[in-house]
Homo-oligomer: A and B are copies of this chain.
Amino acid sequence: MSRSYVHGYQPRENQRLQDQANALVQLFHSGTHYQKGSRVLEAGCGVGAQTITLARNSPNASFTSIDISSESIAEATKAVRSAGLNNVHFDKADIFNLPFEPGSFDHVFVCHLLEHLARPAHALKVLKRLIKVGGTITVIEGDHDSAYFHPDSEAAKLAIACQVELQRRAGGNALIGRELFPLLRQAGFGSISVIPRMVYVDSSKPDLVSGFTRDTFTAMIEGIRDAALEAEIIDPATFDRGIQDLYRTTEADGVFCYTFFKAIAAKT
């Protein structure tokens, strides 16, 4: 009985995890499909979190996915092989010193990269050189000031602010989502269109409660505890209460909001 329950349960659990992944994948990738024969550069692919979906959604385009970390490239390569995809080529490369000729690509795709760079507009200019005239760039970034929730909590806001401050000290910007329009404009792109992709979570969406509020956002903030305390940005009691309050938003009457920004612009 318990065994058949387990058998019955696992596929459902797998489906749940699949649905949850799908919800965020859809949020980032809807509208992004590249034509047959397109050459696409994915700049800053990390461990390939977006690469698989990118390559799967455009099976007749060919992708060059680069990252500055060899370890990440190794992970990403493994993930793409496991997924049975053969339209991705990986390169270890620095975004400010790329081994490609001007106009090498039809399109560029960038996700969660600019937030880590001290000179995001310069990075966009560098990438623009690599795009053929008439080609496009797609950029997806989050913005931590877009996080608000119920019950509201000053401590939770302060815990999130630690991540913003640590990223700032590392030369990045965790509030960059709202700036995609001015950054692309500054880099000289045309036809800029920014579409916010808001994640709204309440207990009628249990997949997002666990998959986004708890296991993605709160887990990320919880993960910077040592760094935040060491940097003396916050005291341990406030940080821990903040984390507790973020978990509190996953209860039956809780609500959590966050917005990613997706921009598409053209090299004119």
Contact = CB atoms under 8 A, between A and B. Distances in A.
Interface stretch (A49-57, A179-187, A237-245): A179-187
Interface string A175-197: 10011011001100000111110
Query: Size range of the interface on A?
Result: 20 to 34
Contacts of A29: none
A143 interface: yes
Contacts of A195: 200
A186 B259 contact: no
Given A150-B179, A255-B181, A257-B259, A194 B186 contact: no
B146 A145 contact: no
Interface in A167-226: 175, 178-179, 181-182, 185-186, 192-196, 198, 200, 202-204
Contacts of A192: 202, 204
A149 interface: yes
A90 interface: no
A181 B198 contact: no
A148 B179 CA distance: 11
Given A181-B203, A181-B253, A193-B204, 18 more contacts: A145-B152, A146-B148, A146-B257, A148-B178, A149-B178, A150-B178, A150-B179, A152-B175, A178-B257, A181-B202, A182-B202, A182-B253, A182-B254, A194-B202, A194-B255, A196-B257, A198-B198, A198-B259
Q: Which 10 A-B pairs have the closest CB atoms?
A: A182-B253, A181-B202, A196-B200, A150-B178, A145-B148, A178-B255, A150-B179, A198-B198, A196-B198, A181-B255
